[in-house]
Amino acid sequence: MTASQSPVSHFGNHVQQQQAVWAQALQAEQFDAALIHSGSQLYSFLDDYHYPFRANPHFLAWLPLARHDESVLIIRPDQPPVLYYFQPDDYWYLPPADPESWWGDFFDVRPVRETGQWRSAIPEGRVAYVGDAPALNDCQELNPPRLLNRLHLARTVKTPYEQACLRSAAATAARAHRAAAEAFRDGQSEFAIHQAYLHAAQQEDADLPYGSIVALNEHGAVLHYQQHERIAPHTHRSFLIDAGATCHGYCSDITRSYSASPGAFADLISAMDALQLRLCDGMRAGVDYRALHLEAHAGIAQLLVDSGLIRCDVEQALSTGLSSVFFPHGLGHFLGLQTHDVAGLLADADGTEIARPDGHPFLRLTRVLEAGNVVTVEPGLYFIDSLLNRWRAGPDAALIHWPAVEELRPYGGIRIEDDVLVTDAQPENMSRDAFAAL
């Protein structure tokens, strides 16, 4: 990564854009200032160990401090942001290091040794408090919905700094995906594959944006498969891995599917890869994401017809809902500081939702795409027992070619997912670029 591509080189401009967005939102909602709490450590019940810390994303939108609890940022229009930087004198845990100049120079940084020292500096006037820390529970205007909606809408268009963070997260994940695929080919267990992924990414589980899905064989049919089996199966037929990485709190979210040998399942993966690339090419400004989701269903229905898995045409597969038996989730979602980033259904500051297409209740993104959006594109085709059994018990059971389905059930399913930057012209596929650079 060159200096011009580094997040560091874009950070000053990012802070300026944040100041403009927050000033506009505060003025529109008639607030004089905002106080953003980074969050607090949450301890497990009847114990003195805390859960992995996740910083408030509104705090992370300003600062690359993903592990910094009990810090507070005060925002006032036309004034430098003030950071109360929690840096305790602690010998139980390693305290945060001194601020680095690349980000600290853009803030009025005030180190504090005790929690709550920010209370003596609450600005005068009407203040919006943002966060979920217990210290904010007594604040009157906590997380005002219209203000947050305005900020969420603004967050959907990524600054050059954010785009650079997302590219870096994609590059880390691609390197780790390559290591996981090698572990699969070596016949490793899900647990060992996951460890290979972490080692290659040089990130801990707590650093990852979400729990990695590492699924061998039938487990690929569980959309959010959450286990990591310690013992390798007797036969490795297929492998689905849905895993990401982070950079300064920004996420990547990439999925790949593999077949251990040539055959019908490997052919389905190749066909799905071609369909997924066509869908990625459609991620352009001015396009309704709902239309792309429906296009994905039509494409998957065609795959089902071509592979002999169903005994009807594409139109009937769509009209009866048969395509949803094999593809039951949405095409994708916004990506940013959160894996399922904010405002995917949001139309305005009032919180009005943009409706999902009829029959597609799980779609997470219904917006018309804008340049600067970063979205995931993740069509899938699965052999899910519960959905297949329901269809088998219904009036249209004969539309499925059951012997062909039974042959592929032991392979679980296919999902291919990339992270794509929307532009006014050719989209930027961050994931494919990251793999190509390895």
Q: How confident is the model over 254-266, as pLDDT tens digits?
A: 999 999 999 999 9
How high is the pLDDT of residue 93?
87
Distance CA 260, CA 412 (A): 13
Distance CA 218, CA 78 (A): 57
Do 3-155 and 160-436 come out as alike in CATH topology? no
In this prediction, residues 347-366 reach a mean pLDDT of: 97
DSSP 314-367: HHHHHHTTHHHHH--S-S--B-SSSSS-TTSSB-STT-PBPPPPTT-TT----S
Burial of 326 (0-12, 13-18, 19+ CB in 10 A): buried
Q: Are the beta carbons of 156 and 144 closer than 8 angstroms?
A: no
Distance CA 420, CA 438 (A): 18
Using DSSP bridges, classify how beta strands 413-415 and 380-382 pair: parallel, antiparallel or unpaired. antiparallel
Q: Which of 203, 181, 175, 199 is nearest to 431 (CA)?
A: 175
At residue 379 the predicted structure's pLDDT band, cuts being 50, 70 and 90, is very high
Q: Are the beta carbons of 195 and 235 closer than 8 angstroms?
A: no
Give the residue extent of every domain in the chain. 3-155, 160-436
pLDDT in tens, 105-153: 999 999 999 999 999 999 999 999 999 999 999 999 999 999 999 999 9
- Other C-beta atoms lying within 10 Å of the C-beta of residue 143: 14
CATH 3.20.20.70 is held by the domain 160-436:
no
Question: Count of H helices and E strands in the chain?
Answer: 13, 15
Q: Are the beta carbons of 214 and 241 closer than 8 angstroms?
A: yes
The fold of 3-155 is Creatine Amidinohydrolase; Chain A, domain 1 (3.40.350)
In this prediction, residues 282-302 reach a mean pLDDT of: 98
Q: Where are the beta strands (DSSP E) in 163-319?
A: 213-216, 238-243, 246-247, 250-251, 254-259
Distance CA 155, CA 268 (A): 36
How high is the pLDDT of residue 4?
59
At residue 5 the predicted structure's pLDDT band, cuts being 50, 70 and 90, is confident
pLDDT in tens, 391-412: 999 999 999 999 999 999 999 9
Q: What is the total residue count of the chain?
A: 438
How high is the pLDDT of residue 194?
98
Q: Which of 429, 433, 431 is nearest to 281 (CA)?
A: 429
At residue 92 the predicted structure's pLDDT band, cuts being 50, 70 and 90, is confident
